[in-house]
Structure 1
Amino acid sequence: MTAIMLAERGRLRVFGRGPVLPDGQRIYAIGDIHGRLDLLDKLLVKIEADVDQRPAARPICIFLGDYIDRGPSSRETIDRLIEQGNRSECVFLKGNHESIAIRCLIDRSRFDQWMRLGGMETLHSYKISAQGVRNDKKIRALQVAFHEALPQAHFRFLRDLQNSYTAGDFFFVHAGVKPSVGLESQSESDLLWIREEFLSSDVDFGKIVVHGHTPVHEVEVRSNRVNIDTGAFATGRLTCLVIEGESLSVIST
């Protein structure tokens, strides 16, 4: 495990002080997986080894969304996450990719957008061929096939994803928050999709926002946020931010 440099950790400020978690909690926040089951399995082994070596009263894994699309193993990734949720305390947040996939079950107009964002790879993982021209007839057939191929356990998993999670001085979300809106009043669209308005803001949000959605080469620590999306589907690096008390560290593949 590689510790974040003290200088970077010291940048984080909530109302002028360093952020903390409640005593006994240790959070493992995992970035965008995008169908890379191979990386997820490696990372979970490392997390479990860390818990074994350094027991905590309440270790919690928080997954920041975008479990599917782009990578080759979306279906298997969801299976693994469901299994992990049955074994330990986990929080599963919704990403924009899960949002589109869920909407495609009832709204055919979103299929082209989903395919452009990597949905074809997800359908392939459910043994659905999405090749060829996608006219309205083809899209209807894909929608029916997706309905039939999606296990009920997967449907429930996708349906029950949370938009955000708060622990101590930290606010966990997929994409970010709208700077001009209180954390309790954020729209789902902003929580799942926002980029530049959030990324360029120096506003004190009242919590440190831990997010993914926008790939970065290294974990990015700003005064008001931490970005842990290291582009796993393309880079082979899936990252976990470990938070305990006043300390931050990183586990990655």
Structure 2
Amino acid sequence: MRTLVVGDVHSGLRALEQLMDRANVSPEDHIIFLGDYVDGWSTAVETIDFLIQIKDTHHCTFIRGNHDELCREWLLTQRENPQWLAHGGTATRDSYLGANRENWELHLNFYADLENYYLAKDNRLYLHAGYTNLKGIDFEYFEQSFYWDRTLWELATALSPDLKPADPNFPKRLTHYKEVFIGHTPISKLKEVPPQKAVNIWNVDTGAAFKGKLTMLDVDTKEFWQSDPVHTLYPGERGRN
């Protein structure tokens, strides 16, 4: 059984279907989705439908992303957040307005059941964005950090490669987990890039909402698969560009 982690999908169902095929994903594999399933391309409803379906046929863990929370809030209240609409929400709103309202309830249940993080038995941590507490996730004061924080990746990329965990200046919050897998902060919005490691943090958001590809990574071997550039799968659409 493989453990496969998937970066931010942003409604790119066509890219996700490519990855499932290219990685030859089987029901025995454990697929960990890092969140941000919507807000970007036009197939938001279809993307969530697909995820709900494979939950019944595959071993899946679904992490909560900030865009998933923004979408859930709109589904519950219909209040239009200008910031959400400007950052991919317009395509998601239009997708839902064209869908059967019975789907809304199923999707609200899906969003409500998302996990803020997943800590595996091998001490690998999976979450959408990050955490800020020096003692780790169990001591985080604000759960929104798990799907909004950008300082974890900023910290990891700012460190000198020569700084070791035994050094007294090494950041304490990076010492608690064998590896941490995140999305949320695109490595690039303008070009195709591989997943990137900084210290023990792996960023798997390779810009699928923009000009990049969607990525799936085998956490043990670090082999990875990528879709075509997602914008080429949605000709005539802007995504979040």
**Mapping of 1:1-253 within 5 angstroms?**
25-47=1-23, 49=24, 51=26, 59-107=29-77, 111-128=81-98, 148=101, 150-167=103-120, 168-186=122-140, 187-196=142-151, 198-201=153-156, 203=171, 204-207=174-177, 208-216=179-187, 217-244=193-220, 247-253=221-227
How many residues align? The count is 204
Tell me, in whole angstroms, the C-alpha distance in 2 between the residues paired with 1:122 and 1:41: 19
Letter in 2 for 1:209: V
Calculate the TM-score normalised by the size of structure 1: 0.73
> How far apart, in 1, do the equivalents of 2:196 and 2:80 lie?
32
Q: Which has the larger radius of gyration?
A: 1
Task: Using the aligned pairs only, state the percent identity.
Answer: 30
Higher relative contact order (CA 8 A, sep 6+): 1
Give the AA of the match of 2:117: S
CA distance in 2, matches of 1:72, 1:206: 39
Displacement of 1:148 in angstroms is 4.0
RMSD, aligned α-carbons: 2.3
Amino acid at match of 1:75: V
| Structure with higher helix content | 1
* SS at structure 2 position matched to 1:71: coil
How far apart are 1:191 and its partner, in Å? 0.7
Q: CA deviation at 1:150?
A: 4.3
The unaligned stretches of length 5 or more in structure 1 are 1-24, 53-57, 129-145
For residue 223 of structure 1, what is the amino acid of its counterpart? V
Q: Tell me the distance in 1 between the aligned counterparts of 2:80 and 2:175.
A: 32
Q: Hey, what's the Cα distance between the residues in 2 that align with 1:149 and 1:86? A: 19
TM-fit CA distance, 1:147: 10
C-alpha offsets along residues 12-70 of structure 1, whole Å, 9 cap, x if unaligned?
Answer: xxxxxxxxxxxxx52100000001111011011123x2659xxxxx5200000000011
Cα distance between partner residues in 2 of 1:76 and 1:106: 19
CA displacement at 1:126 relative to structure 2: 1.9
What secondary structure sits across from 2:51 in the alignment?
A: helix
After TM superposition, what 4+ stretches of structure 1 lie above 6 angstroms from structure 2? Answer: none
Displacement after TM superposition at 1:181 (Å): 4.1
Unaligned runs of 5+ residues in structure 2 are 160-170, 188-192, 228-241
If the length of structure 2 is used for normalisation, what is the TM-score?
0.76
For 1:209, what is the secondary structure of its paired residue?
Answer: strand
How much does 1:79 deviate? 0.7
Matched residue type, 1:194? D
Deviations 1:62-104 (A, max 9, x none): 0000000111111100011111111110001110001111222
Residue type of the alignment partner of 2:92? T
Residues of 1 paired with 2:10 and 2:135: CA distance? 29
Secondary structure of residue in 1 paired with 2:106: helix
Measure how far apart 1:117 and its partner are. Answer: 1.9
